[in-house]
Amino acid sequence: PLETLAQEATQWQVPFVVTQMVEYLEMFGLDHIGLFRISGSVNKIKALKQKYDQGEKVDLINDGDIDSVASLFKLFLKELPVAVFPDNLHANLLKTFEDKNHMAECTQCLKRLLSSFPKAHYSLFQFLSTFLLKVASHSEMNHMTLENLAIVFGPTLFR
């Protein structure tokens, strides 16, 4: 569970595995065409996942590649027992956007909703948002606009 992993959190209050993969992707993957759309090597993903699961030191620079690390990152989010957006908050989130006509009203409701997230989920959401905005800022090279990122990550963040 995210709460358990957050006990070993980095300065950003997110699990080490997340910060390590994001730092790797920021260093090598922001301009990579197909980032998050091209699947990595199944064998590399499996080997990296096994190392993380067993608590071994993982050297992404020597043992990984951009597509495999990006695929492992999505797999990590997908395999969380509770999604980043917890199930019990989905209805309220949808209601926020269905009932409100003004952006300011939506923003206020969204802020209240996000403040009700468990701390570990909120921290991961903030960290992930910052990273995905950075990815989108390189969309001329990587072709990952905010819309494309929403398509890729939406099903993982909301189950």
Burial level of 40, CB count in 10 A (0-12/13-18/19+)? buried
Query: What are the φ and ψ backbone dihedral angles of 146, each rounded to 5 degrees?
Result: -60, -40
The alpha carbon of residue 111 and the mean position of all alpha carbons in its chain are separated, in whole angstroms, by 19
Query: Which of 41-45, 98-102, 139-143 is the least confident region?
Result: 98-102
Of 12-26, 80-94, 135-149, give the range with the top mean pLDDT: 135-149
pLDDT at 99: 66
Query: Do 125 and 84 meet the contact criterion of CB atoms below 8 Å apart?
Result: yes
pLDDT at 100: 59
Segment 87-95 mean pLDDT: 80
pLDDT at 106: 80
Query: Do 159 and 87 meet the contact criterion of CB atoms below 8 Å apart?
Result: yes
What six digits make up the tokens of 103? 């952006």
The share of the chain scoring above pLDDT 90, in percent, equals 67
Q: List Cβ neighbours of 120 (8 Å cut-off, separation of 6 or more).
A: 2, 3, 5, 6, 9, 13, 14
